[in-house]
Structure 1
Amino acid sequence: MSDTRVAELRKELDTLARENRFADMVPKARQLVETYEYMCCGRGESPEYVQALDQLGALYRNLGRYEDALETYKKVEEEAASCFGPADPSFATVLDNIAGLYWMTGRYEEAEQYCRRALEIYTRTVGPQHVLAVTVLNTLGIIRRQQGRFDEALDYFNRALERLAGSEHRNEIATTYANMASVNLQQGQLEAARDNTDKALRIYNEVAGPDSMLAVGALQNLAAIHLRLGETEQAVDEFEKVYAKAVTMFGPDGSNTRVVAKNLAYARSLLEEA
């Protein structure tokens, strides 16, 4: 019976993920974790249990529920170390995910510590050129960006692009362009920011699809750049598209949706004043 319930929940989660209904995924993800715990497959014995926990932690993190994410990821780290061992690439991936949570909450030293641990494992196991190791370079670049160390951030992103050149990992290439654009924007280099965001958005639209979280995030960034360039009408149009997608993804009261709504209201006010 429990195996049947696991299959049902996984199918429901896959459907919700395809529809980008991330807020609606949370209760199903919790039920999946609880089902594995009921089956006694947890406690370091089941990769599927660790994966379910990791998915729940990522949902909390991406929805801005950072306390819930932190509590979940503490459990993920413990279970992953027991399940995979502390020198396995799967454990390193968990460490990199936790690093993402820490930089989002401003805990940069802890984020970097987790990144360094992940990078060391990846370098020893899959090699420094592997896309997993490149992902950590991007995370380290984000940390430097958040610390205001922009030259170091761009260095990490350029190193990531060099290692990805000619590879099939187009989503990671797009993410690197998006990360570079975020530094350009903070440096006031609006044209460079627009060019890099355009590159990222084109790849996301082709590979992940225009309704993916990646593409929607890039469109949100592009709207913000157009607003700063004084291209207000175009920015309003883009913010409206992002808002409609955010409602589906995060719910009308989600923290991400509220941010988009605020940006849209501000852009509309500028358009009305023009």
Structure 2
Amino acid sequence: MQFDDAEVLCKKTLEIHQEHSAPASLEEAADRRLMALICEAKGDYESALEHLVLASMAMIANGQENEVAAIDIGIGDIYLSLSRFDEAVFSYQKALTVFKSTKGDNHPSVASVFARLADLYYKTGRLRESKSYCESALRIYAKPVPGTTAEEIASGMMEISAIYEAVDEPEEALKLLQKAMKLLEDTPGQQNTIAGIEAQMGVMLYMVGRYGEAWSSFENAVTKLRASGERKSAFFGVVLNQMGLACVQMYKIDEAAELFEEARGILEQECGPCHPDTLGVYSNLAATYDAMGRVEDAIEILEYILKVREEKLGTANPDVEDERKRLAELLKEAGKARNKKTKSLENLLGSKSERVKKEAKKKWSSLGFKS
């Protein structure tokens, strides 16, 4: 994930191709696809598009029809990121035509294009077309052609699940995630992927109010991620935060605080103290401390959050106003006025005040937890 370093190395590789390789070689095309991937990851979509077009021209010159179709999918993805929807549809349809003619109507490559078209039509508000393409893809995954791997089917189901989640059909999304996980259970080397599915299932279960099941799903994901060495990743921090929210709904306030505290440390390290994900965990931790009776700690965190949000969003932003109201309520409870000079985050997070085991008397919804 060190994209700046990867870009430097890939650029040197392309310079070597230009000096020593024949024009439009397959090797150069492969490296241009890699450079496109790097540029896309960095948000430089125009450069990514340029490299993919050059790679496509090289593949066409070498008669690599299926590779051209695969590149067309990548080009469609870039157009979709740029909100150039008509061009994205054209690229996807080109790839679809080739895959159908070379691989057959029921090949997972065809289903993959259907899933992309479903996503595109969802993003453009054409929900009927989106659902139709989802159903077409699922029909292929239900009766895959010989040679289709479990990973291909599971990946496709995860993509379609995300669309069902987006259109507010969490139960359908959950069913697809469960099927995907079952497919991968006996596949070696898929523990991190399964953990990701379990984490997403936890989110789905949380959305439909099945908090105990959500907690179990998050716990399974956390256990796998700890075992695989992912315990310092930003994703792990986000999962800990979601598990903490499930604990809140189950009134496991002490466990919620521990999870939020661990998530805070990871996200500070990986994303920085001002990142939206980190601020969300701070907010949850402040709400938890409030519920536990640690009002002073909650006030200090909220003062920091408000300071950052005012600097980044402006004083009139609705999020800033919400935080200001929460802080005012706590200050009123504590009998204080707002401290204009907020303590440093280092001092704030180094606080070791004793935990007060006190259940919240107010409604949980008023505490301001953030997913």
TM-score (norm 2): 0.54
2:210 to 202, 226, 231: 231
1:101 is matched with 78
Retained in 2: the 8 A contact 1:122–1:133?
A: yes
1:34 is matched with 12
Alpha-carbon spacing, 1:239–1:134, altered in 2? closer, same or farther (3 Å): same
Deviations 1:105-134 (A, max 9, x none): 544333212111222333344443443333
Please give the root-mean-square deviation of Cα atoms over the aligned residues, in Å.
Answer: 3.8
Retained in 2: the 8 A contact 1:223–1:236?
A: yes
How far, CA to CA, are the matches of 2:144 and 2:241 in structure 1? 39
Q: CA deviation at 1:78?
A: 1.8
State the one-letter code of the partner of 1:200.
A
Alpha-carbon spacing, 1:89–1:223, altered in 2? closer, same or farther (3 Å): same
2:132 is matched with 155
> Which aligned pairs between 1:1-20 and structure 2 lie closer than 5 A?
none
Deviations 1:19-50 (A, max 9, x none): xxxx1466246414422422435685322222
Alpha-carbon spacing, 1:123–1:210, altered in 2? closer, same or farther (3 Å): closer
1:76 paired with 2:52, answer yes
| Structure that is richer in helix per residue | 1
How far, CA to CA, are the matches of 1:267 and 1:156 in structure 2? 33
Deviations 1:51-97 (A, max 9, x none): 22323433554x4x322x44123222123213434882211111101
**What is the aligned length?**
246
Retained in 2: the 8 A contact 1:36–1:49?
A: yes
Alpha-carbon spacing, 1:32–1:60, altered in 2? closer, same or farther (3 Å): closer
1:20 is matched with none
Deviations 1:178-231 (A, max 9, x none): 23433433444333221111111222444474344x545433321210111223
| Structure 2: gaps (5+ residues) | 254-363, 366-371
1:114 is matched with 91
> Which aligned pairs between 1:1-274 and structure 2 lie closer than 5 A?
23-24=1-2, 27-28=5-6, 30-40=8-18, 44-61=23-40, 63=41, 65-67=42-44, 69-85=45-61, 88-104=65-81, 106-164=83-141, 165-167=143-145, 168-169=147-148, 170-207=150-187, 209-212=189-192, 214-236=193-215, 238-239=217-218, 241=221, 252=233, 263=242, 266-267=245-246, 270=249, 272=253, 273=364
Alpha-carbon spacing, 1:138–1:39, altered in 2? closer, same or farther (3 Å): same
How far, CA to CA, are the matches of 2:11 and 2:183 in structure 1? 34
Alpha-carbon spacing, 1:30–1:124, altered in 2? closer, same or farther (3 Å): farther
State the one-letter code of the partner of 2:110.
A
| Structure 1: gaps (5+ residues) | 1-22
Alpha-carbon spacing, 1:130–1:228, altered in 2? closer, same or farther (3 Å): closer
Retained in 2: the 8 A contact 1:209–1:215?
A: no
Local SS of the residue matching 1:45? coil
Retained in 2: the 8 A contact 1:118–1:136?
A: yes
How far, CA to CA, are the matches of 1:59 and 1:216 in structure 2? 25
How far, CA to CA, are the matches of 2:238 and 2:34 in structure 1? 24
Alpha-carbon spacing, 1:136–1:188, altered in 2? closer, same or farther (3 Å): closer
Structure 1 window deviating more from structure 2 (88-97 vs 122-131): it is: 122-131
TM-score (norm 1): 0.69
Percent identity reads 16
Higher relative contact order (CA 8 A, sep 6+): 1
1:13 is matched with none
Structure with greater Cα Rg: 2
Deviations 1:157-179 (A, max 9, x none): 32223334143323332233223
